[in-house]
Amino acid sequence: MRIDGFSIQGSRPTQQDAYAVGTGGDKAYCVVVDGMGGMIRGDEAAQRALSASVGVLDAGGSPLDAVLAAQAAVHRWASQGGILGRTGATMAVAAVNLRDGTLEWASVGDCRVYLFKGGRLSRLSLDHNVSSEMVLLGRGPVPGPAGEMITSFIGIENLTEISTSEAPLPLEAGEGVLVVSDGVYRSLHEDRIAMALSRGSDARGILQEVEAQGRPYQDNATLALVIL
């Protein structure tokens, strides 16, 4: 099994992304949190969300439990500081049960969860933004920045939108899960990521390909993965 994760610094003056990989109970987990740069103290919101989620995962809790713990921690901190609704983070969490090889996951916002299977990458999570909401309503995607506006995030006053696995998903040897911030998939096509994984690349190798794109305003990019 391979479990790893790396982050690269983007163009922002502070590092907004945070991640963790580890094991808790009988599970291997990975977490990616992206502090919302357009909000107050998004980097601190990300760190608080990460700390709360890792505490749950280390104790053997589920990805959904981890997301709910992150929401409670950031909500409490933001309320005490008078910035509720004006700070926050997006996040994705995945955990693989090491006894039976099944995958569970949960996400909020536009961090994503991908399944790596058969040499291909398939997105499991749903983005929580205006464009996705319009698609669900049958109105078609909304192009440009307006469609990318986040509709659900860690630290929102009432968290009602969480994308999560409905049942554990069986994995086989060589298959796995990736969690990424938007700086990854906006820079590197999913097919390129799948090719890199098929060659045996780790998270660091994939992020080197992100950097190789040479984007002048590269967003912070973070990727963590578990491969059986």
List, for residues 19-76, the tens digit of each pLDDT value.
Answer: 999 999 899 999 999 998 878 999 999 999 999 999 999 999 999 999 999 999 999 9
3-state secondary structure of 201: coil
Q: What is the mean pLDDT of residues 92-104?
A: 96
Higher-confidence residue: 105 or 146? 105
Q: What is the mean pLDDT of residues 89-110?
A: 96
Q: What angle do CA 184, 176, 173 make, to 5 degrees?
A: 150
- What is the C-alpha separation between 71 and 76, in angstroms, rounded? 8
What is the model's pTM?
Answer: 0.90
Residue of 23, 220, 67 whose CA lies nearest to 156: 67
DSSP H helical segments within 96-228, as ranges?
Answer: 130-136, 144-147, 182-185, 190-198, 203-212
The mean of the pLDDT values for the chain is 88
Q: Which residues contact 68 (CB under 8 A, 6 or more apart)?
A: 159
Residue type, 80: Q
Residue type, 213: Q
Per-residue confidence (pLDDT) for residue 31, from 0 to 100:
96
DSSP H helical segments within the chain, as ranges?
Answer: 42-58, 63-81, 130-136, 144-147, 182-185, 190-198, 203-212
pLDDT at 213 over 90: no
Q: What is the mean pLDDT of residues 153-164?
A: 95
Higher-confidence residue: 139 or 7? 7
Per-residue confidence (pLDDT) for residue 148, from 0 to 100:
66
